[in-house]
Amino acid sequence: MITGTKLVIGIVTALLGFAATTSALNAPNDQPASTIPSTVYVPFSVPAPTTTVNVDSCTIVGTLLALEGLPVAEMETALKVAYRESRCTHDAFNSTDTMGGSAGYFQLNYFWCKPSTYWPTGWLQAQGILNDCAQLFDPQINVRAAVAIWRNSGWLPWKTAN
């Protein structure tokens, strides 16, 4: 069984390998410019999101969370939330949720992207994350929005995150 901790360690290891690869290519060397490799091989791959629940789909979420700068200490909770909310499915939608529904990996309520008294264009629009609620189905935008909401409100919007 893969635990959240093992998943986090795997993601961090992959990202560190990527960082080491790119740092090595940017390091000064004594070779002529013509012998410096022009192709960078990334030491991991991210499969396309699918509606099938599997470890790969949660790995995508973890990778996107790391790329968005979520602290490692929060990674396990974030992955639990994504799994509980959507089974790590990017196109999950709950039409019965308030404010028009909840979408994506983190089942982000449309409250965050609907105009209000305080946010005439919507909170996520004011943060520069998206233009309309339909973009919450984009995996990268959904994760970026979830991290922004977490930075603003902690895990409270997901109520039972811990």
Looking at residue 36, its pLDDT comes to: 47
Whether residue 65 contacts residue 147, with contact meaning beta carbons closer than 8 Å, is answered with yes
User: According to the model, what pLDDT value does residue 160 have?
Assistant: 60
Domain of 78, CATH number, reads 1.10.530.10
| Cα–Cα distance, 41 to 25 (Å, whole number) | 11
pLDDT at residue 99, rounded to an integer: 84
pLDDT, residue 4, reads 52
Ramachandran angles phi, psi of 25, nearest 5°: -70, -25
Count how many domains the chain has.
Answer: 1
Q: Which residues of the chain have pLDDT under 50?
A: 1-2, 15-16, 18-42, 44, 50-53
Give residue for tokens 């470890």. 55
Cβ-contact 108, 146 below 8 angstroms: yes
Which pLDDT score, from 0 to 100, does residue 24 have? 44
Specify the pLDDT at position 103.
Answer: 97
Domain with 125 in it: 4-158
Query: What pLDDT, on the 0 to 100 scale, is given for residue 94?
Result: 95
pLDDT at 31: 47
For residue 81, how far is the Cα from the chain centroid? 12
CA–CA dist 162, 119 (Å, integer) = 29
